[in-house]
């Protein structure tokens, strides 16, 4: 029976030393395994943060897969509604935190455009970070699979 080596995070990355193929795990190897585990956790966190920024939920009991609208879509819809609004509508309430402040149609339109731009920049930055971490993970996979072959499992659980 082989020994089990676990990374320092709760992800399931397993390394088995088999009798026919005894693999020596160095400190450097363990550091790479731990780095892989930490980066995998970070990607999961970032993707969840991206989902939160992109999607608004209908009700608390719905899952992310049942998400109805993106926050960006909501902002775009608000912009369209303001453009279609009656020209006689002098002031439009705009929520800032917990308070609604009335602004002119043009000011509200500008504020919505700025909010859309800022949200898209946040999403782009998060997606860029995910891509960067994915490159690191790909490199670590190559190194770890080269040394340990089928004795290590670096694939995420399907559960």
In a domain, 158, yes or no: no
How many domains, the chain?
1
Q: Is residue 46 part of a domain?
A: yes
What value does the mean pLDDT of the chain take? 75
Say what the pTM is. Answer: 0.63
The verdict on residue 55 lying in a domain is yes
159 assigned to some structural domain: no
Q: How confident is the model over 95-123, as pLDDT tens digits?
A: 788 888 888 888 888 888 898 888 888 88
Residue 54 or residue 10, greater confidence: 54
| Domain annotation covers residue 105 | yes
State the residue range of the domain holding 140: 4-153
Of 30-44, 59-73, 94-108, 139-153, the poorest mean pLDDT is in 59-73
Domain annotation covers residue 70: yes
Tally DSSP H helices, then E strands, for the chain: 3, 7
């Amino acid at each position: 029976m082989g020994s089990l080596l676990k990374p320092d995070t709760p992800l399931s990355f397993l390394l088995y030393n088999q009798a026919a193929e005894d693999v020596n795990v160095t400190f450097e190897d363990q550091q790479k395994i731990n780095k892989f585990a930490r980066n995998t956790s970070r990607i999961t966190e970032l993707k969840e943060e991206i989902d939160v920024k992109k999607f608004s939920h209908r009700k608390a009991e719905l899952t992310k897969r049942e998400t109805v609208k993106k926050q960006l879509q909501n902002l775009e819809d608000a912009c369209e509604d303001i453009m279609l609004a009656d020209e006689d509508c002098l002031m439009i309430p705009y929520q800032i935190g917990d308070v609604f402040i009335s602004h002119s149609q043009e000011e509200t339109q500008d504020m919505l455009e700025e909010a859309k731009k800022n949200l898209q920049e946040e999403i782009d930055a998060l997606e860029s970070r995910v891509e960067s971490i994915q490159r690191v993970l790909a490199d670590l996979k190559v190194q770890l699979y080269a040394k340990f072959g089928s004795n290590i499992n670096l694939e995420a659980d399907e559960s």
